[in-house]
Amino acid sequence: MDLATSNTSLRKANADLTAKREGFSSKITELKSRNEELGDNYAELVRVNEKLTGELDAAKEGLVKEKAENSSLREELEAAMLKVQSIAVDAVLSARAELMEEFRRGEHASWDPDQEIET
């Protein structure tokens, strides 16, 4: 092989390598740009995640407070129901006692208090 052929072959190889290098350089620039975009997206996702985590924590705290209030209201309702039941029983007993006294005094001789007062 002569020197001219060798030189031509080397120039062709150099041109091929230069073209490949330019292709790689373009690809590297594209990958760097994509990497920056992904980095920005990641930072945004981290920010959104922190915001949502804060909102979730606040909602959990609100639920704990609401549960405590609900429990307190349930206790108040149960106490009120017991008081209402007690008042109703007291009223029936008081009415029975009053009617029994009237019956004993003979004011209502034909009454049957057990039949008249149904609880």
pTM > 0.75: yes or no:
no
Q: What is the C-alpha to C-alpha distance for residues 59 and 85, in angstroms, rounded to an integer?
A: 38
For residue 87, which phi and psi values (nearest 5 degrees)?
Answer: -65, -45
Of 38, 35, 58, which is closest to residue 46 (Cα–Cα)?
38
Residue type, 77: L
Q: What was the pLDDT predicted at 115?
A: 67
Query: Could you state, in order of their start, the residue ranges of all structural domains in the chain?
Result: 3-116
Helices (H), the chain: 3-104, 113-116
CA dist 37 and 96 (Å) reads 86
CA-CA distance, 67 to 76, in Å (whole number)? Answer: 14
Q: Which pLDDT does position 117 carry in this prediction? A: 60
pLDDT at position 72 over 90: yes
| C-alpha distance across the termini of the chain, in Å | 126
Taking 70 as the threshold, does the pLDDT of residue 23 lie above it?
yes
